[in-house]
Amino acid sequence: MNQGEALVYTDTDGKSNIRKRVKAQTTPTPSENTIPIKHGTFDTLTDALDYAAGGVTGFNFYNRRGGLTKSIPYSQLRKEARTLARKILFTGAPRGSHMAIVANTHPDFIRFFFACQYAGMVPVPLPIFMHFSGASGYVKQVHRLLKLSGARLAVATPDYLSFLKEASKGLEMERTGSPEDYYRLPESNATLEPLGPEELAYLQFTSGSTRFPKGVMVSQKAVMNNINVITHHGINCQRGDRAVSWLPFYHDMGLVGLVLASLGSQLSVDFFSTADFAMRPGLWIRLMSENSGTISFSPPFGYELAAMRLRQNDIETFDLSHWRVAGVGAEMIRPELLERFAQRLEVCGFDKKAFMPCYGMAECSLAVSFSKVGEGLKIDRIDQEQLAEKNLVKKIATGTPKGAKVKEFVRCGRLLPGFEAQIRDEKGQMVNEGQCGTLFLKGPSLMKGYFNDPEATKEVLSEDGWLNTGDVAYMSESEIVITGRSKDLIIINGRNIWPQDIEYLAEAMDEVRLGNACAFSLAGEHGKERAVVVVQLRNLNGNDLQAFKDRLKGLIAKELGIECHVEIVPRNTLVRTTSGKPSRSGTKKRCLKLGLIHLD
């Protein structure tokens, strides 16, 4: 579909529909709605869309220059999704079949996702080509996800269609095509039977930061419960709120937090692609300003990138006084990155109290805890040695006692209604307050399990409904504080070393970009565990490599008190998860396979 064109459907109650091209709507959907706001109090996603269609709000899509390319009011989305649902049913795929949708930031993803809801099919969002090792790596990843999901139908926009077709070779699939291929199908005369509350809403693949991705089975009941607690108790969505997002549609924060939760509370949303954000992060801030956005979410690196790349003369033209919820999550939160963002944008009305740290994961639909609206960052200062050696949380109020090392952690807020939490030790026993351990969760938003993988499900989900998150955490005045991933912990001489601490020190070096360091452990001589960090440099040729290694080793020894092996690797060596974060297990495996690590 060319820029400046849009697809318009005439719903004809099951008969053939008229389809034509018209110029894209030139104005975005309004923030003020004509119907009362409801905070996700629906049984299913189709119920939510049916209600939202009675108003005037909807989804809006922008290009990299900030131009509006498509505006889809919820009323129009409902009509188009129902028409497309009948065309999908014409394929003959049985009810409950899985339909893979390459989830680039495009109106067609939204249409197909909701068409599946009305047709009784289960959508499976697939990642786009961003952080894989070349086209062949992307095709292999998509092939694996297609096979794991058991998809019988698949669709991709023309720019991804060749990858999808290559990836589907050798798999038993009934139809793989472009949106146009499906739009050309006749409509089935079958009655639409939307997915019910106990049926799956979609299959969400985890990002695979510690293992290969798993297909999380999210029921309609679970995701609607999560949407309700997010929009009512978490964000407290209000009439006139407007969201802006560059988060990918295949990631749980982007899909549930910005697409489904916005629909569930009838908010208008302005979308632009993750790739465009990476090239022009200032567009995020510009759209927040021009459209009076009130809600947006990002991992910490997004705020960091925007703060780094914005020009001061542009900042002074913005108005961010409307931005009341600046959500932050999806990875460990470094407070100094957010403070830098707040300082740079204070001049245009950004209030640092808008920061809302939160915690969640795909296995819980999305959100588990939220900080209070308007409270900003709450930081615990912890004795690093006590935490590393004894898992004890010893808070340091002010200053730094002589000889002590302090580590800062951001609180991620209180549990949302319906959730229970326990902190357990290695033996599965609950620990006392003031101790660190593995976080276990229970609640109505939890997944049914991993699709077609009972063993992996059994590893993390107990018969009585407790989920082992794999995250190391402690409770601070009833708020969750995440300190790392249990599977990523590096244990040196009985001390717990968090890999993100090593990575942070590497990324603090001028030669290293954010996200270009990855730390893990390897068995050294006599099986003794060694800490290793692999680093991609900005410019391999222009650096004294050995001097860099020595400086980084010295910094790690000084700050963490351990010896760490430093290895400089070529660009594109680090394996990325579908959400763009370095995969420690994947990078470790690749480096060993390529023989890139040579322990002293």
Q: What are 374-433's pLDDT values in tens digits?
A: 999 999 988 878 887 788 888 887 766 665 678 888 999 999 999 999 999 888 888 888
Q: If pLDDT is split at 50, 70 and 90, which confidence band does 39 have?
A: very high
Mean pLDDT of 204-210: 65
**What is the pLDDT at residue 393?**
86
Q: Name which of 200, 195, 161, 194 is nearest 178 in CA terms.
A: 161
Q: Name which of 268, 319, 278, 269 is nearest 299 in CA terms.
A: 278
Mean pLDDT of 509-517: 86
- How many angstroms separate the first and last alpha carbons of the chain? 56
Across 115-119, 383-387, 509-513, least confident range: 383-387
**What is the pLDDT at residue 23?**
43
Across 255-264, 366-375, 575-584, least confident range: 575-584
pLDDT at 526 over 60: no
Across 3-17, 41-55, 289-303, least confident range: 3-17
pLDDT at 334 over 50: yes
**What is the pLDDT at residue 168?**
93
pLDDT at 5 over 60: no
User: To which residue do tokens 């952080």 refer?
Assistant: 131
Task: Mention every residue, 6+ apart, whose C-beta is less than 8 A from residue 486.
Answer: 438, 470, 471, 472
pLDDT at 182 over 60: yes
pLDDT at 173 over 60: yes
Q: Name which of 309, 249, 279, 292 is nearest 114 in CA terms.
A: 249
Measured CA to CA, the distance from residue 587 to residue 582 in angstroms comes to: 7
Contact 555, 505 (CB under 8 A): yes
Q: Name which of 507, 508, 502, 467 is nearest 488 in CA terms.
A: 502
Mean pLDDT of 503-531: 81
**What is the pLDDT at residue 22?**
39
Q: What are phi and psi of 228, to 5 degrees?
A: -65, -50
pLDDT at 93 over 90: yes
pLDDT at 210 over 70: no
pLDDT at 530 over 70: yes
157 alpha-carbon distance from chain centroid: 22
Delimiting residues of CATH 3.30.300.30 domain(s) in the chain: 489-594
What digits encode the pLDDT tens for the residues 216-234? 999 999 999 999 999 999 9
Q: Enter the pTM of the model.
A: 0.80
Contact 353, 374 (CB under 8 A): yes
Contact 244, 5 (CB under 8 A): no
**What is the pLDDT at residue 42?**
96
Please give the DSSP secondary-structure letter assigned to residue 4: T
Measured CA to CA, the distance from residue 209 to residue 203 in angstroms comes to: 18
What digits encode the pLDDT tens for the residues 267-278? 999 999 988 998
Measured CA to CA, the distance from residue 108 to residue 86 in angstroms comes to: 16
Mean pLDDT of 332-352: 89
β-pair partners for 358: 370
Measured CA to CA, the distance from residue 334 to residue 336 in angstroms comes to: 6
Q: If pLDDT is split at 50, 70 and 90, which confidence band does 528 have?
A: low
Domain 391-397+411-487 has CATH 2.60.40.1120: no
Delimiting residues of CATH 2.30.38.10 domain(s) in the chain: 391-397+411-487
| Encoded tokens for 473 | 């955490």
**What is the pLDDT at residue 351?**
94
β-pair partners for 58: 73
pLDDT at 256 over 50: yes
Query: DSSP letter string over 21-81?
Result: EEEPPSSPPPSS-SS----S--SSHHHHHHHHTTSS-EEEEE-TTS-EEEEEEHHHHHHHH
Share of the chain above pLDDT 70, in %: 89
| Encoded tokens for 392 | 């004890």
Please give the DSSP secondary-structure letter assigned to residue 431: P
CATH of domain 489-594: 3.30.300.30
* Tally of CB atoms within 10 A around 100: 27
Q: What are phi and psi of 509, to 5 degrees?
A: -75, 145
| Burial class of residue 593 in the structure, from the number of CB atoms within 10 Å of its CB (0-12 exposed, 13-18 middle, 19+ buried) | exposed
pLDDT at 8 over 50: no
Q: What is the mean pLDDT of the chain?
A: 86
Contact 533, 569 (CB under 8 A): no
CATH of domain 5-280: 3.40.50.12780
pLDDT at 373 over 70: yes
**What is the pLDDT at residue 378?**
92
Mean pLDDT of 546-560: 85
Q: Name which of 533, 523, 531, 529 is nearest 573 in CA terms.
A: 533
Task: Mention every residue, 6+ apart, whose C-beta is less than 8 A from residue 410.
Answer: 333, 335, 357, 377, 378, 379, 380, 481
